[in-house]
Amino acid sequence: MTQKLPLLLVQMGHPPTDIRRAVGEQPAWFSAALGDVGPISVVCPFEGEALPAVGTFSGAVISGSWAMVTEHEAWSERTAEWLRGIIQAGVPVLGVCYGHQLMAYALGGVVDYHPKGSEVGQIAVTLNDAALDDPLLNGLPKTFDTFLSHEQSVLELPPGAVVLGASHHDPHQIIRYSPYVFSVQFHPEFSAPVMNKIITSRSERVAMKGKDRDALLAAVNDTPFSRAILQRFVASL
């Protein structure tokens, strides 16, 4: 029996220390959201680790980060170049938050700070007509809650990209680039404790400027339909 190739999680940075101590790191969040899906391999390009070759993993998930795409860090640019290569080779890829922005940037879109500021908390995303037949979105409610925490956004789409969902704040919440390449601005891997800790973290004080922390905390519950998108992506590999 042929052993299944691992899912590759490309971790794009460590959480701030207080968040990491309270709720752990991204690989644990993704693992908890996915349950028992088989082997998961983690690579950390920000620590100088080499990104693996096509054929050594079944598909890739590109995580969020506390860095900014517009900082053009060398490890981020290296990951963008690698993304262009694996996407051209037909590898399934899902980008999450920073991963969503990096994919759009790598494929020719424009990423920068959102002109209306940050988007933080449990927030509704609404699907459009183009999402009706999408395999990762088919059967989901037209509007469902997601966990969000970002300052930058995809401001201009890459050529050929299709928007499938939006929030009131950000019109590019869900983007499909090809039949196998997809990204979301929100965090399907977040749990309520992770979202709560981000809202209360001192490291998030810039993103939280002008926001009602208590109101945001009161709204945090669960985002099962958001999580289902991540689960469906991995199940399709």
- Catalytic residue numbers read 97, 187, 189
- Cα separation of 90 and 26, whole Å? 25
Q: Which residues contact 169 (CB under 8 A, 6 or more apart)?
A: 114, 116, 119, 123
**Euclidean distance between CA atoms 75 and 20, whole angstroms:** 21
Q: Residue 209: exposed, middle, or buried by beta-carbon count in 10 A (0-12, 13-18, 19+)?
A: exposed
Integer Cα distance of 50 and 48 in angstroms: 6
